[in-house]
């Protein structure tokens, strides 16, 4: 529910343009953090899609990966809701903390999945 509320708050307060090279306002920082998270998700999803299309990657492993990622996404959201709430409940900084956490955990997950596959 918090994810939905944060998302709606961001949608209704997001400017059309945010200067992510040098964000000057809290709104710009929140928006840029959300954009960085979206890019991290694209990176992870692109790699997973590549694995799912790879015929040399075992079908059972594909199913395990899909299940693991679904469970991990729930964990990621809960972890970032917790972190942002503890640090900045209800403040203008909360979305920045939330989206930064989401980006960081997504990039770590990408690295973890990639290194797991490359080991084998």
Indicate whether 96 belongs to any domain.
yes
User: Over its length of 120 residues, how does the chain's per-residue pLDDT go in tens digits?
Assistant: 666 565 555 555 555 677 898 889 999 999 999 999 999 999 999 999 999 999 988 989 999 999 999 999 999 999 999 999 999 999 999 999 999 999 999 999 999 999 998 876
Indicate whether 7 belongs to any domain.
no
Q: Is 100 exposed, middle or buried (0-12, 13-18, 19+ CB in 10 A)?
A: buried
Indicate whether 71 belongs to any domain.
yes
Indicate whether 18 belongs to any domain.
no
Range of the domain at 55: 27-119
Q: Give the chain's domain count.
A: 1
CATH number of the domain encompassing residue 90: 1.20.1270.180
């Amino acid at each position: 529910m918090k994810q939905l509320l944060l998302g709606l708050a961001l949608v209704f307060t997001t400017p059309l343009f945010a200067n992510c090279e040098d964000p000057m306002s809290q709104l710009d920082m929140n928006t840029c953090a959300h954009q960085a998270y979206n890019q991290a998700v694209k990176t992870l999803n692109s790699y997973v899609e590549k694995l799912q299309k790879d015929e040399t990657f075992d079908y059972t492993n594909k199913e395990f990966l899909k299940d693991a990622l679904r469970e991990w996404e729930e964990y990621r959201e809960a972890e970032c809701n917790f972190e942002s709430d503890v640090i900045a409940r209800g403040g203008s900084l909360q979305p920045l903390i939330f989206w930064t956490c989401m980006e960081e955990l997504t990039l770590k997950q990408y690295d973890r999945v990639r290194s797991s596959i490359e080991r084998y």
